[in-house]
Structure 1
């Protein structure tokens, strides 16, 4: 349901048309619209203005009905409170008239009292109002002063507590400021060290790249040396000690074969006697062959011992 109307009386035509269309449920909407219409008229009439044009929709009607309900409830509560205040004011006025009559009978009217008495009475009344007491009896003043003293004590305790908390917060704030200053100084130092560290990191990255290149080169050389050792028949059984031992045997054999070689060289100066020369040569060849065989036996025995 949405119709544009300019005055609350036009809402009745909308209510009638909608009630004929929607049946029983529109009765509830019509009653709400009637309540809203009456409330709007009363409010705008009190302000001396006309109800403005607006669109009656279910949402606007519900919203206005809620506002009207709350407004009427608050108005009723305010009326009750105002009536109570009016009644109390009337009672206070009648009591004031009665007290004035009593004071006139005993001759204590304000006009007949000295100025200092009037000023003291006003001060006493102001103090009573300040202490929120109904009369000026001494007991009331004592009770009010005791209550004021208790409240003062409570306020002093709260003040001391707040001061202690403020002191702690001040200490925390000072420590936080000191830490913040230290952190800022540390941050400044770190920012100053960024450039040297970046240069150092770049240098290290360059060195790492060079080392990786050399590593690949060394691995390739290691592979080549290993292949070459495999080709020449190197085995892990041939250790340094075995090689040293074989070198010592070789030196011994060289010492043994050197006299034979020297003797063979001396035969070159002999007269050309073919029979003796051939016999001597054959003899030296046998000795040389025996020395070579002995060297081979020693090498084989050294290899067998190492295995």
Structure 2
């Protein structure tokens, strides 16, 4: 391989890399010798050297720490053995050796020692038992409080879950109902589209008619003052005037049957002309007043 590090290459890279490789080799030999096996052959690459050196450093640190702890345990064990021997000598001197004690006393002492180990206390004093029991009671209270809280939260979550299931069921029912109504709504929408197209065409037609009628009104001189109400009022005045002028016209027609008299005819004609002019003036005043009021 191209990244294989040989002995000459290692020397070329400096004493630090060579020292690191020697440390790795020594650590591998010690580990495999402890397991009763030979170190397998492999290529020492920069990456493998760095990884193995890291593992060796961690392993040596942990081995050193384990050795310190093991020495401490050995020292404590020796102290416990010496203390046990001393206590045994004292008990034998006062006649309280384990062999001379009744079986029930030995079993009680073993139960007491088991309880002390279970409660994790260093002696069998009553105060130590009371403190341990109090600590257990406090832990029990804390566990019960946590359990009550968890049960309360569980009930709340169960209620939320039940409500969520109910809402999900309702939404599913609404969804099914909406899916059933899709086809009728689509048909109705198509009908509305058709009607909308017809209405648009009618609107265009009506707009064209409106434009035509407007042009026609402009062409004949229609103004907003000439409204339907004004025309009706003028027609009523016209009827009144016709009623008033009808006797005069009848009189004029009766004069046509008389023998011709030039002087009387002139006078009669002048009189009728004055009456006719007065009637036209009255009609004009009525029209003017109607237009002004509108």
Structure 1 residues without counterparts, runs of 5 or longer: 6-10, 20-25
Alignment equivalent of 1:41, drawn from 29, 32, 41: 29
Q: Distance in 2 between matches of 1:29 and 1:151?
A: 56
Relative to structure 1, the CA distance from residue 94 to residue 14 in structure 2 (aligned partners, 3 Å threshold; closer, same or farther) is: farther
Match of 2:207 among 219, 241, 245: 219
Question: What is the DSSP-based 3-state SS (H/G/I as helix, E as strand, rest coil) of the residue aligned with 1:83?
Answer: helix
1:210 aligns with 2:205: no
Q: How many pairs are equivalent?
A: 285
Provide the secondary structure at the position in 2 that maps to 1:123.
Answer: helix
Q: Which residue of 2 aligns with 1:144?
A: 132
Given the superposition, is the C-alpha separation of residues 213 and 293 from structure 1 closer, same or farther in structure 2, using an over 3 Å criterion?
A: farther
- Which deviations, in whole Å up to 9, do the C-alpha atoms of 1:119-171 show, x marking residues without a partner? 22221111111111222222322222222223223333333333333333333
Per the alignment, residue 22 of structure 1 pairs with: none
CA distance in 1, matches of 2:16, 2:29: 20
SS at match of 2:4: strand
What is the correspondence of 1:136-215 to structure 2 with a 5 Å cutoff? 136-215=124-203
Q: 1:169-201: per-residue Cα shift (whole Å, max 9, x none)?
A: 333333333333333333333333333333333
1:40-59 pair list within 5 angstroms: 40-47=28-35, 48-54=37-43, 56-57=45-46, 59=47
State the partner residue of 2:291.
306
TM-score when scaled to structure 1?
Answer: 0.73
Q: Out of 64, 73, 90, which is 1:76 matched to?
A: 64
Q: Distance in 2 between matches of 1:93 and 1:253?
A: 151
Residues 125 and 136 of structure 1 are in contact (CA less than 8 Å); yes or no, is this contact kept in structure 2?
Answer: yes
The equivalent of 1:8 in structure 2 is none
| Counterpart-to-counterpart distance in 2, 1:43 and 1:151 | 45
Deviation at 1:202, TM superposition (A): 3.1
Structure 2 residue matching 1:4: 3-state secondary structure: coil
Which stretches in structure 2 are left out of the alignment for 5+ residues? none
| Alignment check: 8 A CA contact 2:3 2:45 kept | yes
2: CA distance, partners of 1:114 / 1:169: 59
Q: Work out whether 1:91 is the aligned partner of 2:79.
A: yes
| Alignment correspondent of 2:9 | 14
Deviation for aligned residue 1:224: 1.0
Indicate if the aligned counterparts of 1:133 and 1:144 stay in contact, CA closer than 8 A: yes
**Alpha carbons 2:113, 2:124 under 8 Å: kept:** yes
Distance in 2 (CA, whole Å) between partners of 1:232 and 1:262 is 38
> Secondary structure at the residue paired with 1:236?
coil
Note the C-alpha offset of 1:229.
1.0
Partner of 1:100: 88
For residues 5-48 of structure 1, the C-alpha deviation after alignment (integer angstroms, 9 at most, x for no partner) is 6xxxxx533312x32xxxxxx44433333333333333334332
